[in-house]
Every structure is written in C-alpha cells, then in structure tokens.
Amino acid sequence: MTDGLFVKVASTVKQVRYIFVTGGVASSLGKGVSIASIGALLEARGFSVTIQKMDPYLNIDPGTMSPFQHGEVYVTQDGAETDLDLGYYERFTSAKLSRENSVTTGQIYYTVIERERRGEYLGRTVQVIPHITNEIKNRILSLKRSNPEVDFILVEIGGTVGDIESVPFLEAIRQFRLDVGTENTMYIHLTLVPTITIGGEIKTKPTQHSVKELLKQGIQPDMLICRSTNYLSEEVKEKISLFCNVKKERVISAPDIEHTIYEIPLIFHREHLDDEIIRYFRLEEKSPLFLETMNPMLSKWETVVEHFKKPKGMVKIALVGKYMQLADAYRSLFEALQHGGIANQVRVEMIKLDSEQLTSENAHELLGEADGILVPGGFGERGILGKIIAIRYAREKKIPYFGICLGMQTAVIEFAQNVAGLRGANSTEFETECEHPVISLMEEQLSVTSKGGTMRLGAYPCLVKPHSLLEEAYQKREIYERHRHRYEFNNRYRSLLEGMGLVVSGTSPDSGLVEAIELPRHIHPWFVAVQFHPEFNSRPLDPHPLFVKFIEMAKKKNRSEW
C-alpha cells in the first residue's frame, strides 16, 4: 500500500537535482570528461541527465575563436557553435544538447544589456548582483523548463576557482542552493593532488587552498574529485577529508588513465562516486522505483575499455590538416576514428600530417604506410595544395579516402583539376576570381558580412542515392547530419563532373545542395567525401556508420584484401 503510494509520487512529481562541478588548482584537469563520466554513471543507474557548460569568457560563443585559442568548435543539432566539452557530454551520455546547454559570460551580459536598453529595469541600477547572477540562474532554470523529464541537471563551471571572471558564476550557484534547497543541489570540486617528482611525495596543500578559495565564495564542496598520478591512499583521503571538511567517502580518486578516457566512468564507479551521489540525494530512500535502478549497467563501457586494452589488429590512418598537432582542434574527429576502431576491433593509429609539409615528391614517403587517408574540415587557403596532393595520392593508389567538409571541397577540386581536366578549378574561398569555381559561396551567404553564428550550421536532412557507398554505410535513404560551412559544391559544374565519373551520393532535399560525393566501386574501393561533420554524431557505444565503414575498408587494405 505504502509502496504503491511512493511509486505514484515518484512518477508524478518530478524533482530535478542539480550537480555543480567547479575546478581548482589548475586548468586542463579534465573537468569536461569528468562531468560527462558522472552523467554516464547516472544514466547507467537509470536516471536521465542533461549537462550545461558555463564558460566565463566574453565571446558569445567559441565560433569566432582560432583553434589555437580554443580547440574544436563543437556544433549541436540545433546549430549552436559550442565548447568542445559538449562533445564529451554527448559522447558519454544520451543527452540531446542544444544551444541552451552552452552559456558564456558574453551571452549573459548581452541579454542583460539588451534588457537595460529596452528599459525593462525600470530605472534601477543594473549590477552584477542581482542582475547578472539572476540571468545565470535563469539559464539553468530554462534548461529545466526545456527538459522537464530530466532527473539531473549537471552544470560545469568553466575556468578555475580564483579566476576573476568566474566569480559571478560561483555566486550564482551559491544562491541557487538557497533557491532550490541543499537537498537538491550538490557541489563537486575537481582538484589536483600532485606528486613531487623527487621523493614521490603526495601533496594535498593545493587542494586545501583551492577549497578555501571556494569557501571564500560561500561554497563548501560536498565531494572532491582528485586528479593524481595514482589512486589516493586511505591516509591521503583522510587528510583531505579533514582539512577540506568533506566526508572521506566523498574524496574520490581520479588517477591518470592507462588506455582510454572511456575508463573514467568505470574508475569513478569503483571509487563509489555514483553510490555517493545517490546517497547524498537520499535517492534510495525515495521510492522502490529507484531501488530497481541500483544495479549499474556498466558492461557496455567495460566492453569499450576491453577493446582498447586488447585490440585484435591495427590500422594506420593519415590525417592531413592544418592544426594536426593540436589534438583538441580535431577532438571529435579523433574520438570518432577510435569509435570506428572499436566497431572493427582494431586499434587506430593516427599519422598526423601538416598539409603544408606535403609535396608531390614526398607524398609516397609520408603516405605510403597509410591504410586510409582523411582530410578533415578547415578554413583558409594555407595548406590546401598539400591536401589536394594527399587526395590525389589516395585516389590514384586506391587507398580508402574519407573527406569531411573542407575534405569534400578539396576532393571536388582535385577531381576537377586532375580527372576532368579543369586546371583552373578551385574554391572561391581561396581564389575569388578563379577560372572554374567548382566550390563557391552559398547563395544565402552572399549578403552575410558578420562572422559570428552566420555559417550554415546544425543538422539538415540529406537524401542518399540508392546503391551508393553512402547508402551501404548508413543503410538509410534519408539522414540528418550537422554542418558548419559557408561554401558549397557549385551545381553549375555538377553534370560535367558527373559525366567524368564523379558520383553525387547525397543532396539536400530542399535546395539540391550537394552533401556527399564518391567514386564508383569499379574505380576505387572506397572514396567518400561529405560536406557535413559526421564526427559530431559518433559515440563509443554507437559508432558512426561512416567511420565504421572507413575503418573497415582500411582494415581490408591493411590485410591486402583487394
């Protein structure tokens, strides 16, 4: 009787819990991956989550920032240009993120200032507290309004505690607890526990200082995740617990990983992080419904990790781009290639090549070992020639080729120049007055002058040509993929290039834009290039079909199966 009542209450009144994650001591400790792993664990225990990132910089979004400054720009389904951490959130959880999941100081101030200009503050002085902090809280609550069914909202506060620019965010999450109650909010602080190289001593002082810094903002963390070289000993945990006023069971080790970031949910689980969150929110007492979710279903993650520990083979993929040495600039791409490896049970080794270094003379030396060649997205003229040389090499030597965005545009240019004999073929992005603009500015872009958020962004449908390589990979006739570009295949050249053997295998249903090209099977074993970014839709637990197929073909090449 009582049980029945509890079930009813639990299913009709949806209480959202909020977990705020801050970072201390140093940047780049892996806050994004940590919060994504917490999301994965909560999902494994039957809860639904969404994750929001608060970035303290003044840009409206990272769309206009250089990859050197910011790494990859991750594009959401609804076309927001966001921080790469959102990529981790989507790869680790099944949360569907939108522009509401990405907040920056720039957006907050923009909204408040626009409101002030409209006179909506009715003559009052507009201040950081309460106007900026209210707007920050409003963004968290609006995510709740858009996801009324979600059990947990996880919020990552970008930057490091102690930075001037994150103060309003810390103040807002401090106030948030007052608004929704301690029982519905949890503060997790990610810190560094370094080991002094000489003597191998573990130092807890930076963590103590970082927690003090947080206390100055009025926030006492409920849990600490401690990045360190190895697991923390019980003794070290006790010390941190005592000095930082956090229960010992809630001092979680986050040691360096051995094989892959996909181990992190499992490491956290072994550290009882999910048990402690559930205990903190007293979820096991709430209703029998929750009790049923107490068996973690982590076997899928274990299978993924097992793959990295014992792959059954290896393939080498040459990546030819402009920022190849900057791992974060192509984060989703690198991850998607690994996912393709998981599906094919092979380790994917990447040969990262700076396209500026590639010439016709050294192409064989640099690319001869590759089982697959990939040219990723990019902007600007620098290094284009090297990309075209790599594509020609892939085409002529029958090495599996996968082109993404700029990698499709350059494949079209290469085909036009070297197969169709249009020597003056180029993109107007690199040569405005070129003789054969086979890639040109999209119609809708002609009048666009400002840079921020003005590309063709987000998911669009694409019709797949029957019996094409694209259809073989997707097993579908209509797909949705995310875009981020201004230039397109110039349809004026379509019939000429098709006449020379180029296959247009994907087109947008409304505007007839070319979304994918390929070479026929009798010409080349696997040459596919797409205008969209499939890497944003790949997950370790659900690898993207194009990456699966590309790695499968690279595996065949490696084993000389043709």
Catalytic residues, by residue number, are: 405, 533, 535
Per CB under 6 A, 150 contacts ligand GLN? no
**In one letter, which amino acid is 521?**
R
DSSP per residue, 253-276 = EEEPPSS-GGGHHHHHHHTTHHHH
Q: Spell out the alpha helix ranges (H) of 118-233.
A: 133-146, 167-180, 205-216
Per CB under 6 A, 484 contacts ligand GLN? yes
Q: Please write down the long-range contacts of 241-245, taking CB distance under 8 Å and 24 or more positions apart.
A: 243/204, 243/208, 243/211, 244/207, 244/208, 244/211, 245/211, 245/220
Nearer residue to ligand GLN within complex by CB, 358 or 405: 405
Q: How far is the CB of 366 from ligand GLN (least distance, A)?
A: 22
Nearer residue to ligand GLN within complex by CB, 366 or 404: 404
Q: What is the C-alpha to C-alpha distance for residues 233 and 125, in angstroms, rounded to an integer?
A: 52
Using CB under 6 A, pick the residue from 91, 189, 485, 549 that binds ligand GLN: 485
Q: What is the C-alpha to C-alpha distance for residues 551 and 334, in angstroms, rounded to an integer?
A: 13
Q: How far is the CB of 63 from ligand GLN (least distance, A)?
A: 11
Per CB under 6 A, 429 contacts ligand GLN? yes
Per CB under 6 A, 265 contacts ligand GLN? no
Q: With contacts defined by CB under 6 A, how many residues of the chain interact with ligand GLN?
A: 11
Q: Which stretch binds ligand GLN (CB under 6 A): 5-13, 196-204, 321-329, 481-489?
A: 481-489
Per CB under 6 A, 550 contacts ligand GLN? no
Quick check: 159 and 167 in contact, CB under 8 A?
Answer: no
Q: How far is the CB of 378 from ligand GLN (least distance, A)?
A: 5
Using CB under 6 A, pick the residue from 378, 383, 437, 540 that binds ligand GLN: 378
Per CB under 6 A, 487 contacts ligand GLN? yes
End-to-end CA distance of the chain: 68
Nearer residue to ligand GLN within complex by CB, 110 or 379: 379
Q: Spell out the alpha helix ranges (H) of 345-400.
A: 363-367, 384-396
Q: How far is the CB of 403 from ligand GLN (least distance, A)?
A: 10
Nearer residue to ligand GLN within complex by CB, 323 or 487: 487
Per CB under 6 A, 379 contacts ligand GLN? yes
Of 395-424, which residues contact ligand GLN (CB under 6 A)? 405-406, 409
Nearer residue to ligand GLN within complex by CB, 39 or 62: 62
Nearer residue to ligand GLN within complex by CB, 141 or 442: 442
What does the per-residue mask of binding to ligand GLN show for 439-478, with x meaning CB under 6 A?
Answer: ----------------------------------------
Q: How far is the CB of 26 from ligand GLN (least distance, A)?
A: 31
Q: Which stretch binds ligand GLN (CB under 6 A): 152-160, 315-323, 358-366, 479-487?
A: 479-487
Q: What is the C-alpha to C-alpha distance for residues 90 and 71, in angstroms, rounded to an integer?
A: 17
Nearer residue to ligand GLN within complex by CB, 68 or 165: 68
Q: What is the C-alpha to C-alpha distance for residues 250 and 303, in angstroms, rounded to an integer?
A: 27
Per CB under 6 A, 67 contacts ligand GLN? no
Per CB under 6 A, 431 contacts ligand GLN? no
Quick check: 168 and 128 in contact, CB under 8 A?
Answer: yes
Nearer residue to ligand GLN within complex by CB, 264 or 513: 513
- Kindly state the DSSP code that residue 355 receives in the 8-state scheme: G
Q: What is the C-alpha to C-alpha distance for residues 409 and 415, in angstroms, rounded to an integer?
A: 10
Using CB under 6 A, pick the residue from 321, 377, 437, 458 that binds ligand GLN: 377
Q: What is the C-alpha to C-alpha distance for residues 440 and 456, in angstroms, rounded to an integer?
A: 14
Q: What is the C-alpha to C-alpha distance for residues 497 and 562, in angstroms, rounded to an integer?
A: 27
Cα 184 to its chain centre, rounded Å, is 28
Tokens standing for residue 527: 């040459």
Q: What is the C-alpha to C-alpha distance for residues 375 and 242, in angstroms, rounded to an integer?
A: 52
- Kindly state the DSSP code that residue 441 receives in the 8-state scheme: E
Per CB under 6 A, 24 contacts ligand GLN? no
Residues that bind ligand GLN (CB under 6 A): 377-379, 405-406, 409, 429, 484-487
